Protein backbone atom coordinates (compact mmCIF):
# COMPACT_ATOMS: atom_id res chain seq x y z
CA UNK A 1 0.00 0.00 0.00
CA UNK A 2 2.80 2.47 0.79
CA UNK A 3 4.53 1.90 -2.56
CA UNK A 4 1.24 2.35 -4.42
CA UNK A 5 0.41 5.63 -2.67
CA UNK A 6 3.92 7.04 -3.12
CA UNK A 7 3.91 6.07 -6.81
CA UNK A 8 0.56 7.85 -7.15
CA UNK A 9 2.08 11.00 -5.60
CA UNK A 10 4.98 11.02 -8.09
CA UNK A 11 2.57 10.43 -10.97
CA UNK A 12 0.28 13.28 -9.85
CA UNK A 13 3.24 15.66 -9.63
CA UNK A 14 3.65 15.18 -13.39
CA UNK A 15 -0.04 15.31 -14.32
CA UNK A 16 -0.38 11.53 -14.54
CA UNK A 17 -2.48 9.06 -12.60
CA UNK A 18 -2.08 5.64 -11.11
CA UNK A 19 -4.38 3.34 -13.06
CA UNK A 20 -6.96 1.38 -11.09
CA UNK A 21 -6.05 -2.32 -10.73
CA UNK A 22 -8.16 -3.47 -7.77
CA UNK A 23 -7.24 -7.16 -7.89
CA UNK A 24 -3.50 -6.75 -8.34
CA UNK A 25 -1.47 -5.66 -5.31
CA UNK A 26 1.92 -6.25 -6.93
CA UNK A 27 1.82 -4.70 -10.41
CA UNK A 28 0.85 -1.09 -10.95
CA UNK A 29 0.46 1.10 -14.02
CA UNK A 30 0.73 4.86 -14.52
CA UNK A 31 -0.71 6.85 -17.41
CA UNK A 32 1.70 8.62 -19.79
CA UNK A 33 0.25 11.72 -21.41
CA UNK A 34 2.91 13.39 -23.53
CA UNK A 35 2.72 17.15 -23.86
CA UNK A 36 2.86 18.65 -27.35
CA UNK A 37 6.40 18.32 -28.68
CA UNK A 38 7.48 15.77 -26.08
CA UNK A 39 9.71 12.84 -26.88
CA UNK A 40 7.88 9.58 -27.67
CA UNK A 41 6.61 7.78 -24.56
CA UNK A 42 8.76 4.73 -25.32
CA UNK A 43 11.87 6.83 -24.67
CA UNK A 44 10.87 7.12 -21.02
CA UNK A 45 11.69 3.42 -20.62
CA UNK A 46 15.12 3.96 -22.16
CA UNK A 47 15.69 6.97 -19.94
CA UNK A 48 14.92 4.87 -16.85
CA UNK A 49 17.09 2.01 -18.07
CA UNK A 50 20.15 4.24 -18.39
CA UNK A 51 19.46 5.31 -14.79
CA UNK A 52 19.76 1.62 -13.82
CA UNK A 53 16.02 1.16 -13.35
CA UNK A 54 14.94 -2.18 -14.75
CA UNK A 55 11.56 -3.84 -14.89
CA UNK A 56 9.57 -0.81 -16.02
CA UNK A 57 7.61 -1.53 -19.19
CA UNK A 58 6.29 1.32 -21.31
CA UNK A 59 3.25 0.43 -23.42
CA UNK A 60 2.20 2.64 -26.33
CA UNK A 61 -1.15 1.97 -28.06
CA UNK A 62 -0.86 1.21 -31.75
CA UNK A 63 -3.13 0.15 -34.58
CA UNK A 64 -0.46 -2.20 -35.90
CA UNK A 65 -1.48 -5.85 -35.80
CA UNK A 66 1.14 -8.42 -34.83
CA UNK A 67 0.51 -12.07 -35.59
CA UNK A 68 1.95 -14.74 -33.30
CA UNK A 69 1.14 -18.40 -33.93
CA UNK A 70 -1.76 -17.41 -36.18
CA UNK A 71 -3.26 -15.18 -33.46
CA UNK A 72 -3.60 -11.46 -34.22
CA UNK A 73 -2.76 -8.94 -31.50
CA UNK A 74 -3.60 -5.26 -31.62
CA UNK A 75 -1.25 -3.10 -29.48
CA UNK A 76 0.93 -6.16 -28.94
CA UNK A 77 2.36 -6.21 -25.43
CA UNK A 78 -0.47 -4.17 -23.94
CA UNK A 79 -2.78 -5.53 -21.28
CA UNK A 80 -5.81 -4.35 -23.24
CA UNK A 81 -6.15 -3.80 -27.00
CA UNK A 82 -7.95 -0.46 -26.94
CA UNK A 83 -6.45 1.39 -23.97
CA UNK A 84 -6.70 5.10 -24.85
CA UNK A 85 -3.29 6.27 -23.63
CA UNK A 86 0.28 5.13 -23.21
CA UNK A 87 1.23 3.86 -19.76
CA UNK A 88 4.05 2.18 -17.91
CA UNK A 89 3.81 -0.77 -15.59
CA UNK A 90 6.01 -1.54 -12.62
CA UNK A 91 5.94 -4.26 -9.98
CA UNK A 92 6.75 -4.26 -6.30
CA UNK A 93 8.94 -7.28 -5.55
CA UNK A 94 9.26 -9.44 -2.46
CA UNK A 95 12.27 -8.27 -0.47
CA UNK A 96 12.18 -4.68 -1.69
CA UNK A 97 13.23 -2.28 1.05
CA UNK A 98 12.47 1.40 1.71
CA UNK A 99 15.84 2.47 0.29
CA UNK A 100 15.02 0.68 -3.01
CA UNK A 101 11.60 2.34 -3.20
CA UNK A 102 13.08 5.77 -2.42
CA UNK A 103 15.76 5.40 -5.09
CA UNK A 104 13.28 4.18 -7.71
CA UNK A 105 10.84 7.02 -7.01
CA UNK A 106 13.61 9.65 -7.15
CA UNK A 107 14.82 8.33 -10.50
CA UNK A 108 11.27 8.04 -11.85
CA UNK A 109 10.46 11.58 -10.72
CA UNK A 110 13.53 12.95 -12.48
CA UNK A 111 12.94 10.91 -15.67
CA UNK A 112 9.27 11.93 -15.86
CA UNK A 113 10.21 15.58 -15.38
CA UNK A 114 12.78 15.44 -18.17
CA UNK A 115 10.43 13.56 -20.49
CA UNK A 116 7.59 16.04 -19.90
CA UNK A 117 9.73 19.17 -20.31
CA UNK A 118 12.15 18.40 -23.14
CA UNK A 119 10.83 18.81 -26.67
CA UNK A 120 11.80 16.26 -29.27
CA UNK A 121 15.15 17.19 -30.74
CA UNK A 122 16.90 16.43 -33.98
CA UNK A 123 19.63 13.80 -33.86
CA UNK A 124 23.10 15.23 -33.49
CA UNK A 125 25.46 14.75 -36.40
CA UNK A 126 28.42 12.46 -35.74
CA UNK A 127 31.57 14.23 -34.53
CA UNK A 128 33.95 15.33 -37.23
CA UNK A 129 37.22 13.45 -37.55
CA UNK A 130 40.51 15.34 -37.39
CA UNK A 131 42.16 16.13 -40.72
CA UNK A 132 44.33 12.98 -40.51
CA UNK A 133 41.12 10.88 -40.49
CA UNK A 134 41.89 9.14 -37.18
CA UNK A 135 39.67 9.51 -34.11
CA UNK A 136 41.27 11.38 -31.22
CA UNK A 137 42.69 9.05 -28.58
CA UNK A 138 41.87 9.55 -24.94
CA UNK A 139 45.10 7.86 -23.90
CA UNK A 140 48.29 9.83 -23.58
CA UNK A 141 51.34 8.47 -25.36
Average pLDDT, the chain: 82
Q: Determine the pLDDT at residue 83.
A: 78
Question: Do 14 and 44 meet the contact criterion of CB atoms below 8 Å apart?
Answer: no
* Neighbouring C-alpha atoms within 13 Å toward the C-beta of 30: 28
Among the listed residues 16, 27, 85, the one whose alpha carbon sits nearest the alpha carbon of residue 56? 27
Indicate if the pLDDT at residue 56 is higher than 80: yes
Residue-wise pLDDT for 104-139, tens only, equals 999 999 999 988 885 555 566 666 766 776 655 555
Amino acid sequence: PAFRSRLAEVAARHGERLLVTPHNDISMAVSLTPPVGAKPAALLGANLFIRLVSGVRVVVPTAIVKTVAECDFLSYGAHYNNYPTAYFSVACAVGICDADVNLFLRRLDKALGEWKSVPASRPRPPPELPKDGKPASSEQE
